Amino acid sequence: MLELDGVTAAYDSTPILRDVDLSVEEGEIVGVMGKNGVGKTTLMKTIIGLLEPSSGTIRYAGADVTDAPADERARAGMGYIPQGRDVFPKLTVEQNVRMGETVNADSEQTLYDQIYDYFPVLAERADQQAGTLSGGQQQMLAIARALVSNPDLLLLDEPSEGIQPSIVDQISRDMQAINDDLGTTILFVEQNLGVIREMADRCYAMERGEIVDEVGPTTLADEDAIAEYLAV
């Protein structure tokens, strides 16, 4: 479904991503793990199109999207959940979710019922200003917002960052459920060991802007092996 080939991306003239190759098949949950500063957020921004790669190609659903702007990719079916949630602070919860309707423009279908099933707290606080929600609630809102149009691919940037552990667990389980129920493909970047092991079918390891390893389900079960990639 998603294929990155030799992608290099830079901020001004400092290269962050170097010759990244990765691929995600339909229906998978794939993780990318790495410490702070290896370029995880840059990778996500490049995939959604907020950052233009200086070389390489990105293919999505069989088409070359390397030159496509972010809003085009979103409308093609990519649902993006930024690090730090980035909810629209002065819009209400309900309005934030509605903003997600432009994602996956071809599909008329909206999943309001399912979303409020997964995250009932959003229905309770529908008219509250999004900026006043707690971190965990904002994360749920960001997910709901990206999900409401039933995108084919969800892009999650460090879903556990800044959120209390109990909510993190819940979110991991919710993502699994979404993948099971809706068949949504999920690509996420993380540095939290537990989340990676809980959610990922398989996982790439990233170091200094490069993909250095690909880890399958058996190795994922081995805590020590993964901890190496995440050691500070």
Partner 1 sequence: MVNGLNLLFQFLDSFAFIVLAAAGLAIIFGIMGVINLAHGEFIMVGAYATTLANIRAGLPLPAAMLVGVLVTAGFGLVVERVVISGTVPNALSQRFLGRKVIEPLYDRLADSMVATWGLSLIMVQGVRITLGNSLDQIGTPLGNIAYSGFSYSTYRVMLAAVALGVLALTYYVFTRTEYGMRARATIQDEDTARALGVDTERTYMTTFAIGSGLAGLTGALYAPTITMVPGLGSSFLVEAFVAVVVGGPSVVLGTTLAGGLLGAINATVSNVLGTFFGRIALLVTAIVMIRFLPDGITGFVETLRERRQEGA
Quick note: the x/- pattern for partner 1 over 45-64, rule CB under 8 A, is ---xxx--------------
By CB under 8 A, is residue 220 in contact with partner 1?
no
Tokens matching residue 223: 């805590």
Q: What is the rounded (10 degree) CA torsion for 160, 161, 166, 171?
A: -30
Residues ≥6 apart with Cβ < 8 Å to 110: 101, 148, 149, 150
- C-beta closer to partner 1: residue 91 or 225: 91
In whole angstroms, how close is the CB of 100 to partner 1 at the nearest point? Answer: 6
Among 71, 124, 180, 181, binds partner 1 (CB under 8 A): 71
Q: What is the side-by-side order of every strand in the sheet holding 55-60?
A: 14-24, 2-11, 55-60, 63-64
Among 86, 117, 124, 180, binds partner 1 (CB under 8 A): 86
By CB under 8 A, is residue 205 in contact with partner 1?
no
Q: What percent helix, strand, coil does the chain show, rounded to 5?
A: 40, 25, 35
Summarize as ranges the residues that interact with partner 1 (CB under 8 A).
48-50, 69-71, 74-75, 80, 82, 86, 88-91, 95, 98-100, 102-105, 132, 145-146
